[in-house]
Structure 1
C-alpha cells in the first residue's frame, strides 16, 4: 500500500451557468490528493492522510476518494472548515486564490498521525501542505518517523505565491529531500531553488544530498530520471492540452505505480534500479499525465484507459 500524505481541498473551477453567466463549480483537488486518486485508479492499493472537514465540502472529498478506491481511514475528520481554492485558467495554466486559515487540513498535528501496518510500503509527500504550520511540521514529523523503514517519495511542487518565508520552506524541503528515496522536480521547481547548472548537474546535487532517484520533468520536452549509476530520458506524449491541472501529480502516481507493479517498491530496490525499470516508471508517468492534460481539471486516467 502507498500512503499519500498532504492537502485535500476544493477547487472552485470557472464554469458558465445554463443562463450564460460566469460562475464556479466545486471539484475535489489538491496535489497530493490528486496523486492518491491517480494511484487508486491505476489499481494500486492506496490510502490517504490529511485533515478533512466534516462539512459538505469534506463529503465531496471523501466521496471522490472512495470512488477511486482510495482508503481514507487514516484521515483526521474534524469540525474545522475545508480549504477552498478559486481557480483562474489562462491558456490552460492555473492561478489560485487560496483560503486556508484555520482549516481541517492545515491544523493537523502530530497527535493526528496514523499508525501504519506492515502493508504500507511507501509514503508520498509534497506541495503546499508542507508550507504552513502546524501541518508542515506534522508531515515532516511523519516522514522522519517512517524514513528508515519505508520508501519515501517527495514532490516539492513549489508554488512561490504561497510561500511567505522562502528560507524556512527551502530548509524544510532540503531536510525532507535528504531523507527521501524518490524526489521529483519540475524545471520551475529547480529555478526556485536558485541552483546553477544543467539538469544533469542539478540531479547530481540532489543525489549527493541523499535521494536515490531524482526525476526532473520538463513539460512538453519530456522527463529524465537519474540514479547514481544512470540517466534515462523519455519524451512526453503528444496530445492536445486542455489544461495542466494535476499533470505533475499524475506523473508522480505513474512512477510509484510502475515501481509497485514491478515489485520494486523497497528502499534497497529503488536505490539500484536498472535502466528498464527506470524507463518503465518514467514512461508510465508520462502516459498517465498525458491523459490528465487532455481533459479539464485534475481527472487522472483509469488503468483501462492506458492499457493496464
Structure 2
C-alpha cells in the first residue's frame, strides 16, 4: 500500500431530471472517490473507514474491491450508511447529507490502525471531519503518521453541514497545520476566507506548516504556492464536460500518484521539486480530472487513459501551425 485514505464512503443520489424527485445512486464520498482514482491510476491504495452491513454498505465494499482498493482495514458496523443527495446547477452542485449515527461517522478504532511500512501518502479531509467520533480518530491517525508519510488534506467544504462557519474555520486552521500538501478548490477558498485574495489564504496555510498549497479553479486550471517561490499556474485541458462530480477528488489522486512517480516519498522532498516537475505533476492531475468530467458521475480514468491523453496533447502542441 503506497497511498492510504481515511474518511467517509457514501451513496450519492444525483438528480436525474431537474425539478423532480428522480435520483440515481452512485458509490461516492470524496475519500472513496480519491481512493478509487489512485487505484485506477496504478498505485497500491488502501482505505481506512467503517462501512455498514446494510445494502448500501455491501455495494460500497464491492465497489472498492472491484476497483482494486485494499479493504483489509475497513471495519463493519450495523449502523446505517451515509447518504447524500446531489442537485446539479449550471455553476455547481447542491448537496443534502444524511450522516447522523452512520457507520463511517462512528469510525473509532481502538487502538489506531498501523499503516503498512511501504505507505508513503496519507489523505484526509471532507465531511468525515464534521462527525464524531470519526473526526477525532482521523486527526489522531494523521498526527500519529505526521513526518512519516506525506499528509494530503482536502477540506472539501460542504456548508450545508456546517452550522457554525466561524468555528469550522478555526478547526480547519488546525488541520492545515497537520498537512504537508493542501489541495482546495476556489469555492473552498471563498468559504474559508470570504472576500480574501486566494494568495493571501495560501500564504496563511504555508505559514501554518504546509509545504505546498494547490487551488483548483475548474476549467480554468490550478495554481501552486510554495514558500520562497512565485505562484505557478497550469491550464486545464479542454474537454466536453458531462459531469463535474468527482473531478476534484480525481485531481487530488493525480497529485499523489504523479508525485510518487517523480520519486517523492517523504514530506521534505516536496520542497526540493523544480517548477518543471510541479508542472508535470499538476498537468497529470488536471488531465485525470478532465477525463473524469467526460463521463457521468465520479468515474476516474485509468493510468493508460491519462498517458494517452497527455501524449495526444504533446503531439498536438508539436504539430506546426497550418498555413493560411
Instruction: Name the CA distance, whole Å, in 2 between partners of 1:198 and 1:92.
Output: 21
CA deviation map 1:109-141 (0-9, x unaligned):
242632212111110011111112111112111
Instruction: Name the CA distance, whole Å, in 2 between partners of 1:93 and 1:194.
Output: 19
Instruction: Name the CA distance, whole Å, in 2 between partners of 1:74 and 1:286.
Output: 30
Matched, 1:253 2:256: no
Q: CA deviation at 1:190?
A: 1.4
Where do 1:191-202 residues align within 5 Å? 191-194=190-193, 197-202=196-201
Where do 1:187-266 residues align within 5 Å? 187-194=186-193, 197-230=196-229, 231-266=231-266
Match in the other structure for 1:53 = 52
8 Å CA contact 1:93–1:245 kept in 2: the answer is no
CA deviation map 1:130-182 (0-9, x unaligned):
11211111211111111132110001111111112323322222112112100
Q: CA deviation at 1:209?
A: 1.3
Displacement over 4 Å in runs of 4+: none
Q: CA deviation at 1:60?
A: 1.1
CA deviation map 1:213-265 (0-9, x unaligned):
11011122110112223332100111121121111111100111100111113
More deviation, 86-95/122-131? 86-95
TM-score (norm 1): 0.93
TM-score (norm 2): 0.89
Greater C-alpha Rg? 2
Q: CA deviation at 1:24?
A: 2.6
More deviation, 28-37/184-193? 184-193
Matched, 1:7 2:1: no
| Structure 2 residues without counterparts, runs of 5 or longer | 309-324
Secondary structure of the residue aligned to 1:170 is helix
Q: CA deviation at 1:184?
A: 1.0
| Structure 1 residues without counterparts, runs of 5 or longer | none
